[in-house]
């Protein structure tokens, strides 16, 4: 009986001998190898669709390449000629001005809408959906709509102001004069960009605890003081992110401007992006177009650096605006 019991115990305690997993098994157990395998598809896409075009563009900026003709290395000649080009200099200052005014207006109106929607208002979900419409509609369709709105003969704005309200005697030439065209483009960009700012800031507002506002009201804080000392500090990290993306999107705007004005009249509304396309593709001077595009990189780096240091301020994240 004891012999059977000992055999039974031995059978229960038997453990299969460990086998050598082999080279492939050891490789699959390696954490670093698995990390590389998982990252390889994403890195491949970034290299093919981001790194290679960026590197090629930077290389072309230092050559005199044209469509159909291999170029030679010319160094900084493209950049030297650009800084003597009045059209390029006009495009630089207009790109900066366009980005500044459009961003300010988008932030002011977007923050105002976000503060309104943060309260209990009737049909809030419907209003949010309506606000998102300008951002959902494809950019080219928006541009075509504004191109019709700004038409010198069939403009709905001119029709209302002249034929219905009789506030003006002549139709407005929105796109025929430089400054009219510039402000018209800013208005179109603001209309399209407000939803992104409003919805993003609204998401940030809803993360702020209502108890903070209740405590401020008990202390006798006015609406402006509640916004200044409660809303603004806690919303600052979101503001920094939205500001950075808004500046990047506006500075590199292409579709809206090119579809409405194509840089006219007399090159007055060319942004750096549209001018780079015009010189590089229709103008066939790939080297010059690439140089204009590369000239945009320092401005974009400045916006990114601003975002990095803004988000690095922990006191903003803690609700304090002191350095």
* Neighbour tally for 62: CB within 10 Å: 20
pLDDT in tens, 190-204: 999 999 999 999 988
Q: What band does 254 get if pLDDT is binned at 50, 70 and 90?
A: very high
* CB 309, CB 240: distance < 8 Å: no
Q: Which CATH architecture has domain 86-317?
A: Orthogonal Bundle (1.10)
pLDDT in tens, 47-84: 888 888 889 999 999 999 898 888 889 989 999 999 99
Q: What band does 312 get if pLDDT is binned at 50, 70 and 90?
A: low
Domain map of the chain by residue range?
86-317
Residue in the structure block whose two tokens are 């809408």: 113
Supply the mean pLDDT for the chain: 85
* Neighbour tally for 144: CB within 10 Å: 13
CA atoms of 156 and 158, how far apart (whole Å): 6
pTM: 0.82
Decide: helix, strand or coil at residue 84: coil
Compute φ and ψ for 70, nearest 5 degrees: -70, 135
pLDDT > 90 fraction of the chain, expressed in percent and rounded? 35
Closest to 212 (Cα-Cα) out of 230, 227, 194: 230
Closest to 264 (Cα-Cα) out of 280, 253, 250, 278: 278
CA distance readout (Å), 54 to 40, 57, 58, 297: 20, 5, 6, 11
Q: If you average pLDDT over residues 279-303, what whole number do you get?
A: 91
Q: What band does 316 get if pLDDT is binned at 50, 70 and 90?
A: very low
pLDDT in tens, 142-167: 888 998 999 888 889 989 999 888 89
Distance of CA 150 to the CA centre of its chain: 26
* Neighbour tally for 102: CB within 10 Å: 24
> Which DSSP letter does residue 66 get?
B
CA atoms of 78 and 287, how far apart (whole Å): 7
Q: Is the pLDDT of residue 259 over 50?
A: yes
């Amino acid at each position: 009986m004891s012999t059977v019991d000992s055999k039974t115990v031995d059978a229960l305690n038997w453990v299969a001998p460990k086998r050598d997993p082999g080279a492939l098994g050891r490789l699959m157990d390696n954490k670093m190898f698995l990390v590389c395998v998982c990252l390889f598809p994403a890195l491949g896409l970034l290299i093919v669709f981001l790194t290679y075009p960026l590197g090629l563009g930077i290389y072309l900026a230092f050559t005199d390449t044209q469509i159909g003709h291999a170029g030679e290395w010319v160094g900084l000649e493209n950049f030297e000629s650009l800084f003597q080009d009045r059209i390029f200099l006009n495009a630089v200052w207009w790109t900066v001005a366009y980005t500044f005014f459009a961003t300010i207006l988008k932030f002011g109106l977007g923050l105002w809408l976000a503060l309104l929607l943060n309260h209990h208002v009737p049909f809030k979900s419907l209003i949010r959906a309506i606000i998102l419409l300008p951002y959902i509609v494809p950019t080219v369709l928006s541009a075509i709509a504004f191109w019709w709105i700004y038409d010198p003969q069939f403009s709905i704005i001119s029709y209302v102001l002249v034929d219905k309200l009789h506030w003006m005697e002549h139709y407005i030439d929105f796109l025929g004069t430089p400054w009219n065209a510039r402000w018209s483009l800013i208005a179109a960009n603001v209309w399209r960009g407000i939803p992104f700012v409003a919805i993003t800031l609204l998401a940030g507002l809803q993360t702020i605890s209502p108890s903070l506002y209740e405590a401020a009201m008990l202390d006798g804080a006015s609406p402006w003081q509640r916004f200044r000392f409660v809303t603004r500090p806690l919303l600052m990290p979101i503001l920094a992110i939205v500001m950075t993306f808004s500046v990047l999107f506006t500075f590199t705007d292409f579709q809206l401007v090119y579809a409405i004005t194509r840089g006219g009249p007399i090159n007055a509304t060319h942004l750096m992006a549209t001018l780079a396309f015009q010189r590089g593709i229709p103008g066939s001077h790939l080297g010059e177009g690439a140089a204009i595009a590369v000239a945009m990189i320092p401005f974009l780096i400045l916006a990114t650096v601003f975002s990095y240091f803004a988000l690095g301020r922990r006191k903003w994240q803690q609700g304090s605006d002191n350095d």
